[in-house]
Amino acid sequence: MKRIAVLASGSGSNAQRLIEHFRAHALAQVVLVACDQPQARVLQRAWDLHVPSYLFSGKELRDGTLLGELQQHRIDLIVLAGFMRLIPAELVRAFPDRIVNIHPALLPKFGGKGMYGHHVHEAVVAAKETESGITIHFVNERYDEGRMLFQAKCPVLPDDTPESLAERIHALEHVHYPRVVEKLITG
Ligand code: GRF
């Protein structure tokens, strides 16, 4: 049984989908939700779904405390789902090719520092792109630059707002993220 930790900072709708997808799975399970924001809705979602959660600070991310916690839980795979901080090199080295992230645009476009959440959709709409999508990729020490695993596209409509685009992207994420993570686990 592969043990998955989800790292999230916000609402956690992807975290929820992942938990539900692997709930009765034969090969993997989400055993921990780790979060750096005490007010994040993902903590309530984890509670409601009976998944243990772990709250940590930016300092604990950097000083190895989170790494220790993940090792204690015997985590095999780390799945970032709306996690806002840079993963420190030490953590990347401890989980080589075992940390994945989802980005709400078609990388390498609209990625990098500061390009997260609504900022991404605002930039895509402002650039009058005709399509956007999602990118699932391995994580390295730089924002949004790890090896790509999967992309899916959706149209950007002429009257889209960042909010309406975000909704379409979220729907795409919910369909694909659990499936791609599953494929990674089962090879
Ligand atoms: C998603 O759009 C994801 O691509 C991005 O942050 C958002 C998280 O949404 N990295 P949620 O918290 O899973 O609802």
CATH number at residue 175: 3.40.50.170
What's the longest Cα–Cα distance across the chain? 49
**Helices assigned H by DSSP within 49-161:** 58-62, 65-72, 89-94, 118-126
Ligand 1 site-directed mutation target among 83, 170, 180, most atoms within 8 Å of CB: 170
- Nearest ligand 1 atom to the CA of 117 is 6
For 121, the domain range is 2-186
The three-class DSSP label of residue 137 is strand
The segments of the chain whose pLDDT lies below 70 read: 143
Give me the pLDDT at residue 161, please.
Answer: 97
This prediction has a pTM of 0.96
Task: Measure the CA–CA gap between 167 and 36, rounded to whole angstroms.
Answer: 24
31 in contact with ligand 1, CB cutoff 6 A: no
Which among 22, 16, 17 is positioned nearest to 182, based on CA atoms? Answer: 22
Query: How many domains are there within the chain?
Result: 1
Give me the pLDDT at residue 63, please.
Answer: 97
